[in-house]
Amino acid sequence: MRLLRPSELKALRLKRGLTQAKLAELAGLTQAYIAKMEAGKADPRLSTLERLSSVLLQQEEEPLLRAGEMMTSPVFYVRQKDPVEKAVKLMESRGISQLPVLEGGAQVGSLSEADVMRKVAEGEGRGLLRRRVAEVMGEPFPTVGPELPAPAVLSMLEHSPAVLVVERGRVRGIITKADVLRVLVERAETK
């Protein structure tokens, strides 16, 4: 097994889609110590580098998960002209927290439980369900191709409640944090 240099740790950790906390857990270290090593403020012992190398290089052997393998399909959606009530009922009946807003197959926005709750908190609850989705919707979700590696998708999910998977201009699937958790459980069960 190759021994990693401290200067390689952060890049390889990020490439593997691991947080400092997760790497620390896998290697039996603390997150603070991982942060110090990555910042060049700690000089790890050989045994520590061996543990980190083992964890990070073992991760390299596993096939890289892609967006197309993580997505849920079909994608439930609403249109701009639909009443908010339709979107809320769809989210409730399907057990989902957000929907893309599509027109002619193209994404023009998104609607989430958070968007609806924000309007209620701002005092706009009265008549909200009769309003059009276009009046309440937020920004479109980021879009990716089905071959994008999981670490890049995970990074997007830190800033967005969902990511749409688009292929040849058509929405093929959606990825949420719940999908990531589902895939983690499925992978753990197959090992």
C-alpha dihedral (168, 174, 176, 182), degrees to nearest 10? -110
Give me the residue spans of the domains in the chain: 6-61, 67-190
| The two domains 6-61 and 67-190 share their CATH topology (first three levels equal) | no
pLDDT of residue 22: 86
What number does CATH give the domain 67-190? Answer: 3.10.580.10
CATH superfamily of 6-61: lambda repressor-like DNA-binding domains (1.10.260.40)
pLDDT of residue 160: 93
pLDDT band of residue 1 (cuts 50, 70, 90) is low
Q: What percent of the chain has pLDDT over 70?
A: 96
d(CA 4, CA 172): 39
Is residue 59 pLDDT above 60, yes or no? no
pLDDT of residue 125: 84
